[in-house]
Amino acid sequence: MRDMATIPLQEIADFLIAVRRGWVTLEVIHPVEVVYPKWKASNGWIICVFDDVGSWDYIEWIETTDGRRSEYDDIYPDYQDDLEKLGSNPVPGVEPDGEEIERIWHWHEATTPE
């Protein structure tokens, strides 16, 4: 376990909901890293996502302005130990999908090298 404080799952879910509702906006961080695209949010948070063949798969890490950081193991704690729990997302219903991937997250810009 790391020494720095992690972000509670509910706070991560609230962040993703705020992005979905437009209360927090995102800017793609350049240069683009195709497999691990990153965004800086208008609230100062930075988020890195794993791109699985052109689609959002999971949050690799997320960091707040006050230095708290959660990584994959913090956000998806059961995934490493129990393959049957792979479908139980700890931030269910708030990860982007469908048209919001491009409209809000600008996925093509975030995952296509210049």
Q: Write down the pLDDT at residue 86.
A: 47
Q: Where are the domains of the chain?
A: 9-111
**Average pLDDT per run of 10 along the chain, which is 114 residues long?**
76 91 95 92 96 85 96 74 51 76 89 84
Burial status of residue 105 (CB atoms within 10 A of its CB: 0-12, 13-18, 19 or more)? buried
Q: Write down the pLDDT at residue 89.
A: 58
Report the candidate in 105, 35, 48 with the shortest Cα–Cα distance to residue 75: 48
Per the structure block, which two tokens stand in for 113?
A: 């090298």
Contact 86, 79 (CB under 8 A): yes
Q: Write down the pLDDT at residue 83.
A: 46
Q: Write down the pLDDT at residue 7.
A: 93
What is the C-alpha to C-alpha distance for residues 83 and 72, in angstroms, rounded to an integer? 15
